[in-house]
Amino acid sequence: MLYGRSAETAAIDDLIARAGKGQGGALVLRGEAGAGKTALLDLAASHGGPMRVLRTTGVEAEADLAFAALHQLLLPVTGLLDALPEPQAEAVRGALGLAPAGSGDRFLLAAGVLSLLAEAAAPDGLICVVDDFQWVDRPSADALLFAARRLRTEPIAMPLAVRGDTPVPGLPSLEIAGLAEPAAAELLDAGFTLAPPVRRELVALTGGNPLALRETARLLTDAQRAGREPLPDPLPGGSRLFGDRVAALSAGARLTALLAAVESDLGLVLRAAERLGADEAALPELESAGLAGVSGTRVRFRHPLIRSAVYEAASPAARREAHAALAEVSDASEISEGDRRAWHLAGAALGQDESVAAALARAAERARDRGGYGAAATALTRAAELTPAPLVRARRLTDAAEAAWLGGRPGQAESLLAEARELAGADTALPMEITRLRGRFELNSGNAAEAVRILAAGDTLDMLADASEAASYVGDTAAMIEIGRRAAAFPEGFLRDVVAGIGATLAGDGGHDLLRRALGRTGELREAADFLWATAAASHLGEVDLSAELAERAGRVARVSGMAGQLPVVLEFVATAERLAGRLAESRAVSEEGLELAREAGYANTVAAHLANLAAVAALRGEEEACARHAGEALAIAVPHRVGLRAGLAAYALAMLDLCLGRFAAAHDRFTAIAAAGPGAGHPTVVWRSTPDRIEAAVGAGDADAARAALEAYERWSSHAGTAESRALLARCRGLVLPDDQAVEALGEASRLHANPFEAARTGLLLGERLRRTHRPGEARAHLRAALETFRRAGADPWARRAYGELRAAGESVRPEENGPEENGPEENGPEENGPETPVAVPDVRGTALDALTPQELRIATLVADGATSKEIAARLFLSPRTVEYHLYKIYPKLGITSRTELARLVVLRKAPAAPRSML
């Protein structure tokens, strides 16, 4: 029975009730040992009515066993795995040891866990109970937290109990404090007779901790309970709280208890107990003493403090003997027992032992193959401690560092790598590998300029490619040219051609043929990283539309096949492609997802990338506060980290905000500063890609000379671009600086060439403005109507208001309730005298209803229009198939439709051809 927990009970009941309505969530119950967290979890498990209950408990002895907690939680529902997208199902099967390891990508695995929980929740909902989260193994904890943060549309309640200050990021928590005196008194009175002053003192001394109250009261003498003798000082706790009960056990029961303290698996405990001579009555004795019990295939202590008391009561020699016995009875050929055996061998070891270290290294490899990078890092670190040979120890520390990095623990990764570097000695291969990892760590989370320095010291093509990538993030053109020159000495191949070609192109030495040869091999590419290099090649050729297509392919490959934790990086480029296509809602959704994943992975510089893209999206939507906030946060990371590419994008977002809102002078100043910024604070690609906007700002600010100078530079940069979209942007830039009559011709050419509807709308707006100014309003209106509709669909409100004002000035009445506020349009010239005033037809609702969808719903709708099934959509977006169906259930009534076919028709009206992508 629970005493004094009405508020906590209400919070748990609310969590379960909301989950029952499809509004799932998680709640962390945080408190000290004995506070009653487990009792509250038991309450949650019993309050769900018909809801299914799955449960797992972190066990300190299993904290280093990859996926131990997840195995316990999900084993009852593995029969539902066939309902998952195959990549997710494969990842989960591999993690649980039901199939060979999959891709090893922890994001795929986490998405699979979420999908499986969603399947288990049908039809009545699910309560997923996690106790002692502080001891849940790291890979299981990562997957569970990934799922817990994404339960909003699932009928799943996930209460988690955690002791102390163990971090559980991103989830709401409820502090489970000690009982107030009335409730504590009620608890004590239910089992003991205490004098009121004793009871009050006991409550004060224990802080109302329920376990401490009961156990301490049980240990008191009759005289102490009656107040005739003082209470013990200090009160018993930990081993002293349960030490007498452990000491009272028979020798066989104490031995069995010690085995259970270092191993929870019932079969192993019983076999080891038999090997060490404990009789069959030992386990029943533990159960009858109320210290431990059997739960399924596990031995559970009634409270973690009992386990502590048992362990503390044993001598170091006895602990080693217990580990040794458990290792002897473990089956090394079975994955789970093989991992346990390795850890027990480590627990039994005295000093360094290569055979034990090798066993731990094999366990780490198995964990890594299943995506358990955190567990692999822990096992390899311990293996290194046990390794006698310094060079082998350095190798294992290096592998541990890489596993920690991929597991989202960059601080630990750097520490391990520093230790490995000290041990590597004169070995030729390992120091270079350590150097490469140092450079990758810096590029992801540290100083990108330092990453260039570190990686450029390498002499392999892979390291030179990494160095070129780092230099491209910094914006260090000179370094990219030098690295490209060095790469040219390697044999011909895709990666060599890209790296050498980029360097030669930047140097003006005709690297375009190399880049085109590399792009000719895109049909052979299979890895997401290769598609990103192809994206870079197309970008340096100025073929932004092909670059966009390749970036999107990289994203699809990374989602389905995994990319060893690098998905947040790939999503930088996918989000950019969506933004430059004018699909602002989709771009924002991708960056929000990428931002969350990057923060979970500890990739600080990728966090800056997604923040900068969010700032640019907000600028195009005219959201000043969001733009300034995201840009400020991005700059706070990118500038000190010397990531000029992302610092430049954040600055670009602020400049675009001014341009969108018609603040031409301010925009001109910002674009001028971007063009002057050096490596680490700015970026040549940002300058290049933003030049059309810079020219528009300069013209608007009345600085014709600056506009013409920028055009000359843009013509040089675009000289090798061969796509229609690139020619369209160049024609638009020329049209901006020409006199009105010539400008109309140039802008008309640009309008005919555009493949990107959003850029076509911007050109159409400029063309319509010029046509109206040259007294050709009838011609202007068609361009302005199309631009207005495109801007409205994209949610680019500032541009829509500008087009709206131009339409009115061109003599066309526009309904404010449909297209924008009247006061924002320029009306100083009034209706044109040579064009009749005709109302704009109210846009077809079927063409604009998609604006009512959330970014997530819009992404799902777009994939449906592409013909993807719910399983395929779930695999791409890291959702469960049931979540996809839930969103479709909400999408249909919003749009007034009833089928996927109708949805596809709607999306076609909004979708654009392949969008240009830059490194902005």
Q: What is the pLDDT of residues 349-403, one digit of tens each?
A: 999 999 999 999 999 999 988 888 889 999 999 999 999 999 999 999 999 999 9
Residues 206 and 117 grouped into a single domain: no
Which of 175, 190, 211 is the endpoint of a domain?
175
Residues 36 and 152 grouped into a single domain: yes
Is it the case that residue 813 has pLDDT exceeding 80?
Answer: no
Residues 289 and 307 grouped into a single domain: yes
Token pair of 134 as six digits: 């502080």
The region of weakest confidence among 237-241, 337-341, 652-656 is 237-241
The region of weakest confidence among 176-185, 470-479, 862-871 is 862-871
- Average pLDDT of 59-74? 92
**Per-residue confidence (pLDDT) for residue 565, from 0 to 100:** 64
Cβ-proximal residues to 760 (8 Å cutoff; 6+ apart), any chain: 728, 751, 754, 786, 790
**Per-residue confidence (pLDDT) for residue 910, from 0 to 100:** 56
In a domain, 834, yes or no: no
Instruction: Give the global pTM.
Output: 0.81
Residues 377 and 456 grouped into a single domain: no
**Per-residue confidence (pLDDT) for residue 380, from 0 to 100:** 96
Its domain, for residue 211, covers 181-236
First to last CA, the chain: 61
In a domain, 76, yes or no: yes
In a domain, 619, yes or no: no
**Per-residue confidence (pLDDT) for residue 55, from 0 to 100:** 96
- Report the percentage of the chain scoring pLDDT > 90: 58
Question: For the domain that residue 330 is a member of, what is the CATH number?
Answer: 1.25.40
Is it the case that residue 452 has pLDDT exceeding 90?
Answer: yes
- Average pLDDT of 490-505? 95
- Taking the CA atoms of the chain, what radius of gyration do you get in angstroms? 33
**Per-residue confidence (pLDDT) for residue 822, from 0 to 100:** 42
Q: How many domains is the chain partitioned into structurally?
A: 5
Residues 162 and 185 grouped into a single domain: no
In a domain, 447, yes or no: yes
**C-alpha closest to that of 159 among 48, 49, 245:** 48
Q: What is the pLDDT of residues 207-266, one digit of tens each?
A: 898 988 998 898 889 999 998 888 876 676 555 678 888 889 999 999 999 999 999 899
The region of weakest confidence among 331-340, 430-439, 613-622 is 331-340
Is it the case that residue 816 has pLDDT exceeding 60?
Answer: no
Q: What is the pLDDT of residues 555-611, one digit of tens each?
A: 888 776 655 567 888 899 889 888 877 788 888 988 998 998 899 888 999 999 999
Distance CA 533, CA 530 (A): 5
Residues 310 and 449 grouped into a single domain: no
Question: For the domain that residue 860 is a member of, what is the CATH number?
Answer: 1.10.10.10
Is it the case that residue 819 has pLDDT exceeding 50?
Answer: no
**Per-residue confidence (pLDDT) for residue 591, from 0 to 100:** 94
**Per-residue confidence (pLDDT) for residue 911, from 0 to 100:** 53
**Per-residue confidence (pLDDT) for residue 830, from 0 to 100:** 39
Residues 417 and 306 grouped into a single domain: yes
Is it the case that residue 128 has pLDDT exceeding 50?
Answer: yes
Q: Which burial class, exposed, middle or buried, applies to 175 when counting CB atoms under 10 A from its CB (0-12, 13-18, 19+)? A: exposed
Is it the case that residue 333 has pLDDT exceeding 80?
Answer: no
Residues 291 and 406 grouped into a single domain: yes
**Per-residue confidence (pLDDT) for residue 369, from 0 to 100:** 86
Residues 208 and 161 grouped into a single domain: no
Q: Where is pLDDT greater, at 411 or 127?
A: 127
Residues 90 and 156 grouped into a single domain: yes
**Per-residue confidence (pLDDT) for residue 920, from 0 to 100:** 38
Distance CA 198, CA 219 (A): 14
Residues 165 and 299 grouped into a single domain: no
Distance from the Cα of residue 136 to its chain's centroid: 20
Is it the case that residue 140 has pLDDT exceeding 50?
Answer: yes
In a domain, 454, yes or no: yes
3-class state of residue 27 by DSSP: strand
The answer to whether 847 and 910 have CB atoms below 8 angstroms apart is yes
Distance CA 537, CA 551 (A): 11
